[in-house]
A and B are shown apart, each in its own frame.
Chain A
Amino acid sequence: GNSVTQMEGPVTLSEEAFLTINCTYTATGYPSLFWYVQYPGEGLQLLLKATKADDKGSNKGFEATYRKETTSFHLEKGSVQVSDSAVYFCALSDTTNAGKSTFGDGTTLTVKP
C-alpha cells in the first residue's frame, strides 16, 4: 500500500534560517505529491503540489521537487519567518487508489525571532 514518511520533529529555527523537511514515499501507482500546512486549531491548507516526476511545486517561498528516482519530495525554504510556524504534512494521492490521500505524521516547525 501507499505510505509517506516524514522527517521527525519538532524543528526549531531562527528567523531567516534555511528550512528543509524531508519526505519520502511509497506508492503502487503514479501519485501526485502535496505539502499541506496546518496552523493551530485550523484545517489543512494546500501549500504546494507536484503531479509528475521532476515537477517543482512552489508557493510563498516554499519549494519541493518530485524526485521519482529517490521517491522523495523534500520541502525547502530559503529564509523562514515567524509566521511560518505551523505543522507541515507531506501527502500523496493516487487515482489508482480512488484519489484517497495518504499523509505523513507531520513536522512541527517553530521559528523564533
Chain B
Amino acid sequence: DTGVSQDPRHKITKRGQNVTFRCDPISEHNRLYWYRQTLGQGPEFLTYFQNEAQLEKSRLLSDRFSAERPKGSFSTLEIQRTEQGDSAMYLCASSSRLAGGHNEQFFGPGTRLTVL
C-alpha cells in the first residue's frame, strides 16, 4: 500500500510528558499537512510543509508544538509538556501538484492521543 501512513496509531500519555508522532506521505508528494481533530469536530489545520520548508503555522499551534520535515519526506510532530486539552486525533495529509493538484489531499489514518 502506498498511501499516507502514521505512527503510532494510538498514544496514551500522562500530562507533562512529551510525545512525538510520525507521518510518511505518499512518495514524491511534496506537500505535507498536519490537522487536529477533537471529538465531535471537523479537522482543523495546524501546519504544512512544501518539501522541507514549513510554510505556515496555525495560531492553534502553540509553542509546545513543533513539526519538522528534515529531508522533505517523512514528518514528525512533537508536543512538549502535554496537557489534557491536547487529547485529539492528529491527522496527516499529503498532496502533489501532479496528482490531483494541491487541492486534493490524501489523508492518513491518524494518531489518536489521549493525555491522562
Contact = CB atoms under 8 A, between A and B. Distances in A.
Judge: A and B partners, yes or no. Answer: yes
Given A43-B110, A98-B56, A100-B48, A51 B103 contact: yes
A110 to B, nearest CB: 15
B45 A99 contact: no
B87 to A, nearest CB: 15
Contacts of A101: 33, 35, 43, 45, 93, 105
B40 A106 contact: yes
B42 A91 contact: yes
Interface in A58-112: 89, 91, 93-95, 98-106
A44 interface: yes
Interface size class, chain B: 20 to 34
B42 A99 contact: no
Interface string A23-52: 000000001101010000111111001010
Given A42-B109, A105-B41, A99 B95 contact: yes
A89 B102 CA distance: 19
Contacts of A41: 112
Nearest to B105: A101
Given A43-B109, A101-B93, A93 B104 contact: yes
B48 A103 contact: no
A94 B44 CA distance: 15
A98 B48 contact: yes
Interface of A: 4, 31-32, 34, 36, 41-46, 49, 51, 89, 91, 93-95, 98-106
Interface of B: 6, 31, 33, 35, 40-45, 48, 55-56, 89, 91, 93, 95, 101-110, 112
Q: Which 3 residue pairs are nearest across A and B when measured between Cβ atoms? A: A103-B42, A99-B102, A43-B109
